[in-house]
Structure 1
Amino acid sequence: MMHEPRVYRDAIAPRRFFFKVRVKETDLFIHAGHHLEALALDLTLKYRSYIEAYIRHHPGFSDSLIPVQEDRHAPAIVRDMIEAGRKARVGPMAAVAGAVAEYVGRELLTRSPDVIVENGGDIFIRTDDPATIAVFAGNSPLSMKVGLKINGSGHGVGVCTSSGTIGHSLSFGSADAVCVVSSSCALADASATAVGNVVRSAADIKRALAFGKKISGIEGILIIRGDRLGAWGSLEIVPMGRQPSE
């Protein structure tokens, strides 16, 4: 499978050490304190195998665009995807990228105190120091010009992005970027999709924020559509300087 170029990765601060792990559709960009490529690959294969096995035994799970029933016998990562989909009122696969990022990231924390795992724009981050995440919004004039500052967190946080104008993920909206912050990366991912589905034009930003803030468990939302921006919740939005590619 071809992987789309992740142009926003060029903006990562050079002081951090990153490596990549790719397995089929999963394309991880990881920061850790050590060379943990082999472990990260093993973890990616493990969690993908849980999801793939569940899909094989539950026809329709991967194609559902609406929440599916809870299954207490499912692997933990699948249960989190199901719960996230139910809270955001979307199908469970809307949470898959965020769920994989978080599960891989949390296990890497046993070997590294700081971990960032980015999976196609969906990020699990646990650092002692504050970090700023630039928001890639395609052709919007605000793309890579604004960022979210994430303070050091002992528990880790998910910052996930959905777009109706870039990437291959399914969206019924046309937002250039919808970023959601939550302590659950799976929930942030599913909620970004759900909120993004509401945005058909810049006029929908206010309505989308009102919809999103009703989702239990999310901490903040940032929406970009063209040259318009809207936000809600506990977010610190900061201007970004010139990027290396400019």
Structure 2
Amino acid sequence: MSIKESNILIKTENKVYIEIAKSVLLRERLLLENYIRKHPEFLTSYEPLEVEEDAPRVVKLMARSGENADVGPMAAVAGSISQIIVEDLSNYGCRNIISNNGGDIALRSTEDVVVGLYAGNSPLSAKVGFKIDRDRTIDGYGVCTSAGTVGHSVSFGNADAVVVFAKESSIADGAATSIGNFAVGSPEEAINRSLERAECIEGIDGVFVVVGKYAGKVGRIPKLVKTERKITYGELFEMI
């Protein structure tokens, strides 16, 4: 479903939850837009910002992620909205849901989930994925990607993909942007600088960085698996 800048792919166990997800997306976008009208710096800042205690949840999630990763709050907008969609649908009884907001994924599942890697023109793109065990997914999980060569999000690095795994997709989203900003220099330099930055950020489980045909990881990432079929953006995951 697409609403203004939001282009979200939702998978759930029952179609009735899709309509609820649309309502949640509309609500959160409206809350965020209204907040930005009163606080325009929230939209443009590349630095962390403090927000009021009574600010909307989406605003507080974004601000917390920005503070955690030392980036502006808008760096976490997609992951924060995905997280709220999954949390709200869970409150309605949905046990299996994946919300993919432009590559920033929040999910909850009673089964293992495979999330495919999309890394632009890298030869690794669509060839491997990450098998996330149900022990991680059953109470909610986040997988967010930042890239300097793919998509419209702002990144000061040249990575084809910086994939961050965390309990919360809001936290993973801000971290992915921060880590991706350090992906500069030769492929080896870009990967090493990114991984060094990742070790300074709290609240994340692991990071996988791709630059061209090279890749590196730090922390506890899910098991890498081959994806046998050619997949397109928007078909990057499945429950198994």
Give the TM-score normalised by the residue count of structure 1. Answer: 0.88
For residues 131-186 of structure 1, give each alpha carbon's deviation from its aligned partner in whole angstroms, at most 9, with x where no partner exists. 11111000011111121111112211010001100111110001000000111111
CA contact (8 A) 1:70 1:83 kept: no
Which residue of structure 2 lines up, in the alignment, with residue 143 of structure 1?
Answer: 125
Q: Indicate how the Cα distance of structure 1 residues 211 and 111 shifts in structure 2: closer, same or farther if over 3 A, else same.
A: same
Alpha-carbon separation, structure 2, partners of 1:195 and 1:189: 10
- Tell me the secondary structure at the aligned position of residue 179 of structure 1: strand
Give the aligned residue type for 2:13: G
Which residue of structure 1 lines up, in the alignment, with residue 160 of structure 2?
Answer: 176
For residues 208-228 of structure 1, give each alpha carbon's deviation from its aligned partner in whole angstroms, at most 9, with x where no partner exists. 111112211000100000000
CA contact (8 A) 2:109 2:138 kept: yes
State the percentage of identical aligned residues: 39
1:49-60 to 2 correspondences below 5 Å: 49-60=30-41
Which residue of 90, 93, 109 maps to 1:127?
A: 109
Q: Structure 2, unaligned stretches of length 5 or more?
A: 233-240
Alpha-carbon separation, structure 1, partners of 2:191 and 2:53: 36
Which residue of 12, 18, 21 maps to 1:32?
A: 12
Which residue of structure 2 lines up, in the alignment, with residue 92 of structure 1?
Answer: 73
Which residue of structure 2 lines up, in the alignment, with residue 74 of structure 1?
Answer: 55
Which residue of structure 1 lines up, in the alignment, with residue 220 of structure 2?
Answer: 234
CA contact (8 A) 2:103 2:144 kept: yes
Per-residue deviation, 1:244: 5.3
Which residue of structure 1 lines up, in the alignment, with residue 190 of structure 2?
Answer: 204
How many aligned positions are there? Answer: 225
Give the TM-score normalised by the residue count of structure 2. Answer: 0.90
Q: Which runs of 4+ in 1 moved over 6 A?
A: none
- Tell me the secondary structure at the aligned position of residue 43 of structure 2: coil
Which residue of structure 2 lines up, in the alignment, with residue 216 of structure 1?
Answer: 202
Which residue of structure 1 lines up, in the alignment, with residue 2 of structure 2?
Answer: 22
Two-structure CA RMSD over aligned residues (Å): 1.2
Q: Structure 1, unaligned stretches of length 5 or more?
A: 1-20
